[in-house]
Structure 1
């Protein structure tokens, strides 16, 4: 009797680039609106989706010039998904385009963490 183990089947995004640009908010209008109208809630829910503490983004207020949590999240997402980039670019985006940076992070997680469908073949 031979049995095969189920194999995951998914169209995973495996590029080493961001799946969307920093200003591509129109790719996900509901998230864009959520971030615009209630940014602290959006940042907290995005951090939670990444596996971090829900209130972590609120610590950005403790940063003097560069928002430390936004920068750290951006670097963590780049590292997790193998996205090319530099800490200098991350610092610039986090400082001058904070809301757009959080939206890009959220879009990236949505694209990269699509649900995986398992196909199970059983031998009888």
Structure 2
């Protein structure tokens, strides 16, 4: 029902009830649209990383490469996170030079922060700089796995991933055997 409208003697409306809104509005349940909401990505709740910091065994090949040559993994991460503005080879070379001086963790923690802000991820298990200072290879592996789980093919770079996305080509999901929680 709508609010009562009082009419003057000449037939013109006078005042409307205090709210000006219908007295009864049917309530509909709120259902978030994953396409419009940045907080729902591929069925995941925002804030959570797809894997833990020490889950390097989830991708042993990347763990091996990152352990022996972290500049490769970092370059791949930097290219995707910067959306192509920092090419893999350029970022990896800068990282390698900074690795010699001991300041590579400061450079890489900047990209972790940028990745977290792009995907609304929690700062865990502690602040980004400490994660990279104490567990550099684990942090790089986690960031690599996160981007991979979000559909990026880390070996082909930003432009090729963007082209795939525009053509509608998706990466096949990885199916693991057994039950997992």
User: Fold conserved (TM > 0.5)?
Assistant: yes
Structure number with higher helix proportion: 1
Relative contact order, higher structure (CA 8 A, sep 6+): 1
Aligned twin of 2:116: 78
Could you tell me which of 37, 47, 53 is aligned with 2:78? Answer: 47
Aligned length: 109
Aligned twin of 2:129: 91
Higher Rg: 2
Look up the SS of the partner of 2:140 in the other structure.
Answer: helix
Give the gaps of 5 or more residues in structure 2: 1-34, 36-40, 153-163, 170-181
Maintained 8 Å contact 2:72/2:92:
no
TM-score, normalised via structure 1 length: 0.69
Give the gaps of 5 or more residues in structure 1: 1-7, 119-124
Aligned twin of 1:56: 91
> How much does 1:73 deviate?
0.7
Look up the SS of the partner of 2:123 in the other structure.
Answer: coil
Aligned twin of 1:31: 62
| Distance across 1 between alignment mates of 2:44 and 2:87 | 26
CA 1:53–1:68 in structure 2 vs 1: closer, same or farther (change >3 Å)? farther
The Cα RMSD (Å) is 3.0
Aligned twin of 1:104: 142
